[in-house]
Amino acid sequence: MAQEYDLVILGGGTGGYVAAIRASQLGLKTAIVEKGKLGGTCLHKGCIPSKALLRSAEVYSTAKKSEEFGVTTGEVGLNFLKVQERKDKIVEQLHNGVQFLMKKGKIDVYQGLGRILGPSIFSPMPGTISVEMNSGEENEMLIPKNVIIATGSRPRSLPGLEIDGQKVLTSDEALQMTELPKSIIIVGGGVIGIEWASMLADFGVEVTVIEYADRILPTEDKEISKEMQRLLKKRGVTFVTSAKVLPETLEKTDKARISAEVKNEVQAYEAEKILVSVGRMANTEGIGLQNTEIQTEKGYIQTNSFYQTKESHIYAIGDVIGGLQLAHVASHEGITAVEHIAGKNPAPIDYTTISKCIYSSPEAASVGLTEEEAKEKGFKIKTGKFAFKVIGKALVYGESDGFVKIIANEENDDLLGVHMIGPHVTDMISEAGLAKVLDATPWEIGHTIHPHPTLSEAIGEAAQAVDGLAIHS
Ligand SMILES: Cc1cc2nc3c(=O)[nH]c(=O)nc-3n(C[C@H](O)[C@H](O)[C@H](O)COP(=O)(O)OP(=O)(O)OC[C@H]3O[C@@H](n4cnc5c(N)ncnc54)[C@H](O)[C@@H]3O)c2cc1C
């Protein structure tokens, strides 16, 4: 028998399950349709497992230099199966937590493949959802007043570069490796590629990153990508930039060989494995979009600022709509969509206040415009920069590379962007996010007394440096 709901969410990833919780808090009868596992990419193939591996890599590399801290250990070894076991345990614990939250919120979860069918009985618009149940039981039919599409994304490859899961991997397969390769070529020096480069270098793998753009992390501030490349190079990572990988040259023997066109010359590279990290594509196939008026552009679902598609009762959020493909973005888009459905008049998300983080070693984090973007937009800017090498807490940690950079509008002191590279900056960037939300000026950030000794002093000093008033430089 068909089940009726106020809201059915297609996809139980970070965007979908968070939207469901807010919907239940607002009294909406809600169901989630999930073909895989609740928690989606972030929990099972993204944020959490990759950060668990990064943390093991960090502990391994810290243990190897423990003498610097006056701590003597025996020979430091690496048990990669244990590393994977720890990662899986963390994922399982969080997965149990999400399942508990669904029960607590009385959210019905249908394990199966959801598809938008046709008109719902409540309106002449498309909306009915059929669920092909994973259990093989008869299809369930759900009749919602509203739908949120939160089907996420999956890794892309280069045309002609086939992912075989053995020699040529994406992050999906790399997360499941049971042993480390001796060497790896990483195609793509974006966020995911750089996190893997840093982690694998710490684990002792010989890493070569091949990037199409003229610098790694091409969407970050130029000074941040330059510093990241310099610091990773010091740790043994090889970078090849302005390089076009030629998929047709792939040869697989006991190793994988591939060539790239680098400044008009073809160069060959060889490693045990190739990790392809060239971006992601939206999961829009097979979900019944053809039964609706929903529009896509470059594969991504188009919405207004409350995430309504062309069918006003069908919303779309998260990776499937493109933009900033981040877990915290997906969940806040989900919350905004649900509050709109519930008539709560939410404010549209201001994407210039969203923090972006890179969890490599060193970490990097940013909010707002890069210096290049600010100039392109015609702002007259002033900048303040402060290095961690003079911050006491950074020296105490033994991690004093990197800096904080603040960009402000010279004409009215508006904060335009904050960029950081160095220890624990992913935990510090929220101060800059809050400053953007509250429309604080660099003077106000600098006037906020940052406790001593903390890494956050670098933010206060960088803010004061915008007007040439940093104390310790
Ligand atoms: C290696 C890696 C590391 C990352 N690290 C970070 C990070 O540190 N921080 C960060 O913010 N972001 C990170 N991300 C990005 C983050 O994972 C995504 O932005 C986030 O998961 C998007 O959430 P979503 O809900 O839109 O989609 P997803 O999490 O992809 O969830 C979509 C869900 O929909 C389900 N689904 C799809 N189609 C159907 C269907 N027809 N019927 C039923 N179910 C369906 C899928 O099974 C999936 O569970 C990382 C991504 C990767 C790959």
Average pLDDT of the residues in 74-103: 98
- Domain 352-465, what fold? Enolase-like; domain 1 (3.30.390)
Query: Which spans in 124-273 are helix H?
Result: 171-174, 191-202, 222-234
Q: What pLDDT score does 118 carry?
A: 75
Looking at residue 199, what is its pLDDT?
98
pLDDT band at 410 (very low <50, low <70, confident <90, very high): very high
Q: Report pLDDT for 127.
A: 79
pLDDT at position 283 is: 98
Does the beta carbon of 330 lie inside 6 Å of ligand 1? yes
For residue 2, pLDDT over 90 is answered with no
Q: Where are the domains of the chain?
A: 3-154+281-341, 168-278, 352-465
Catalytic residue among 44, 313, 328, 452: 452
Q: Is 452 a catalytic residue?
A: yes
pLDDT, mean of residues 119-146: 85
By the 10 Å C-beta count (0-12 exposed, 13-18 middle, 19+ buried), 78 is classed as middle
Confidence at residue 12, expressed as pLDDT on a 0 to 100 scale: 98
Whether 328 lines ligand 1, by a CB cut-off of 6 Å, is: yes
Give the pLDDT band of residue 120 (cuts 50, 70, 90).
low
168-278: CATH class:
alpha beta
Nearest to 309 by CA among 288, 330, 295: 295
**Is residue 62 over pLDDT 70?**
yes
Contact 104, 201 (CB under 8 A): no
At 126, the pLDDT band (50, 70, 90 cuts) reads low
274-323 pLDDT, tens digit each: 999 999 999 999 999 999 999 999 999 999 999 999 999 999 999 999 99
Rounded CA separation 267/250 (Å)? 12
Specify the fold of 3-154+281-341: FAD/NAD(P)-binding domain (3.50.50)
What secondary structure letter does DSSP report for 291? G
Q: Does the Cβ of 192 fall within 6 Å of ligand 1?
A: yes
- pTM score, whole prediction: 0.97
**CA of residue 324 to ligand 1 center, whole Å:** 12
* 248 contacts 160 by C-beta, under 8 angstroms: yes
pLDDT at residue 217 is higher than 70: yes
Crossing angle of helices 14-25 and 80-104, in 10° steps, is: 30
Are 168-278 and 352-465 in the same CATH fold?
no
Mind listing the pLDDT tens digit for each residue in 247-285?
Answer: 999 999 999 999 999 989 999 999 999 999 999 999 999
